[in-house]
Structure 1
Amino acid sequence: MRCPNCKSKDIGKIGTSQYYCWGCFIELTITDGQLHLHQVEVDGSLSSLDDLFAEEERNIDL
């Protein structure tokens, strides 16, 4: 899997269907064959980055 944001392959698994990109420091979650991307904020909350990517870019083959 490659990060749709930075194209890095340096992705680690942090939970069930949850991954973290060490290249650009975003969290990726897979739900129903689609990636959901989030930026981790200073206070630990997550901000969605889904609106920055086309739906086709976020689709994955299971």
Structure 2
Amino acid sequence: MICPNCRGKNIGIIGQKHYYCWNCAIELTVINNILHIHEIEHDGTLSSLDDLFSEEERRI
């Protein structure tokens, strides 16, 4: 898997269909072969970054 944000391959698995990019510190979730991208805020909440990427860029 390649991170759609930084194009890095340093991706770790944190749960079933949940991944974490160690390069740019974002969380990736796979639903129906589409990546859903979230930024982890300082308080631990997640903010969606899906609107920054086209569906084609997020397709795996």
Q: TM-score, normalised by structure 2?
A: 0.98
**Corresponding residue of 2:19:** 19
Q: Percent identity, aligned pairs only?
A: 63
Matching of residue 50 in structure 1 with residue 50 in structure 2: yes
What are the Cα deviations for residues 3-59 of structure 1, in whole angstroms up to 9, with x where unaligned? 000001000000000000001000000001100000000000000000000110001
**Corresponding residue of 2:29:** 29
Mapped to 2, the partners of 1:36 and 1:7 lie a distance apart of: 15
Q: Which runs of 5+ in 1 are unaligned?
A: none
Q: Which runs of 5+ in 2 are unaligned?
A: none
Number of equivalences: 60
